[in-house]
Amino acid sequence: MAKYVNINGTNIPIRANDPSNPQIGEIWYNSTSNSLKGQINFASAAMSTKANMNNTRGQNGCSHNGTTNASLSVAGNNQGGPLVNNNSEKYDGTSWTASGTYPQATFGAYGSGTQTAALFCGGRIGSSPYPVTAVSASYNGSTFSSEGDLSQARQSIGTFGATETSAIAAGGHNPSNYTDTEEYNGSAWTTIPATFPSQDNMGACGTSTAAIANQNGGTAYYLFDGSAWTSGPASILATSSLNQALVGTQTACNALGANTAPNLNERIQSFDGTSWSTSPATLNVARQQAAGQGTSTSALLFGGTASPGYSNATEEFTGAGPATVTITSS
């Protein structure tokens, strides 16, 4: 039988990695992920449904600077099983596979870094009498290693940073809200003089010197410059941002989902560094407390609390403009 390459020549190149600067209309086969890829131009922002995680996960941690082809989900609430779990799974752009075991079964342990170099900290380890943990652990792409503990045990922390050795943890709950901000230097956590408004269940994204975080239960957002927090432009939606997923940077981010009491919502807000606007795209699964990672134009959202319980749904956000997509027959 004739092979495809003998019939069509080399019109579709085979590559181990996606090209760094693909042209619109370009198509290639990624031999690492075993998928057909292409570069297309989106006229408008859109959400698309992707493969479900193997486990339902509420308040699951993620490596904020992961990509749509290299994502990581850690621990979280589990529907129909143990209330909290310590397993993890990673996503390659097509499917989720089981990965390393986190040192502590928990939920609300959030992270920074990438799929192959991430850091996670804190979390809640049970329901009564409100036990929380100060544990932090790094991830190298396959296994977790225990790192220095937080100065204060807490859950639902705004955690962000470009790398596993340069992370920030702000706010949190234990059971009262905390205003402390801690900085991780690769070996230890240190409290820095940057007071965050007393919040928990907050979303955050950015680097250790330029980040944005939201206010739980309101419309306020705050900006971090590496040494202090200041008030940023308020959301244009009157929504309770209960652990609303934030993806991107301080000057280009999206806020996905939330809890607009008494209902979950599917709305997406976009921030350009100056003001907020409503995205024309909406989530396919309305939810709160989901994990999100990526950029303002290409991001992955997974897990969270939906109806009637914790979710394993995965969705990909694509902003208007050129983007790399996986081509399927469906």
Looking at the structure, tell me whether residues 54 and 32 fall in a common domain.
no
pLDDT digits (tens, 9 = 90+) for 65-80: 889 999 999 999 887 6
pLDDT attached to residue 244: 82
Looking at the structure, tell me whether residues 193 and 90 fall in a common domain.
yes
Looking at the structure, tell me whether residues 179 and 244 fall in a common domain.
yes
pLDDT attached to residue 40: 84
Q: What is the pTM of this model?
A: 0.86
Looking at the structure, tell me whether residues 14 and 138 fall in a common domain.
no
Neighbours of 67 (CB within 10 A): 18
| Cα 156 from Cα 172, distance rounded (Å) | 5
Looking at the structure, tell me whether residues 14 and 111 fall in a common domain.
no
Looking at the structure, tell me whether residues 151 and 300 fall in a common domain.
yes
Domain residues for the domain of 179 are: 43-327
Looking at the structure, tell me whether residues 15 and 67 fall in a common domain.
no
Output the average pLDDT for the chain: 88
pLDDT digits (tens, 9 = 90+) for 252-266: 999 988 776 567 878
Closest CA relative to residue 48, chosen from 282, 253, 323, 321: 282
pLDDT digits (tens, 9 = 90+) for 134-154: 999 999 999 999 999 999 999
The token pair that represents 317 in the structure block: 């956000």
Contact 159, 169 (CB under 8 A): yes
Looking at the structure, tell me whether residues 37 and 166 fall in a common domain.
no
Looking at the structure, tell me whether residues 292 and 186 fall in a common domain.
yes
| Pairing relationship of beta strands 136-139 and 110-114 according to DSSP bridges | unpaired
Looking at the structure, tell me whether residues 175 and 317 fall in a common domain.
yes
Looking at the structure, tell me whether residues 38 and 87 fall in a common domain.
no
Q: Domain holding 71: CATH number?
A: 2.120.10.80
Q: Is the dihedral of CA 68, 72, 77, 78 positive or negative?
A: positive
Looking at the structure, tell me whether residues 143 and 260 fall in a common domain.
yes
| Cα 193 from Cα 215, distance rounded (Å) | 20
Looking at the structure of the chain, the number of domains it has is 2
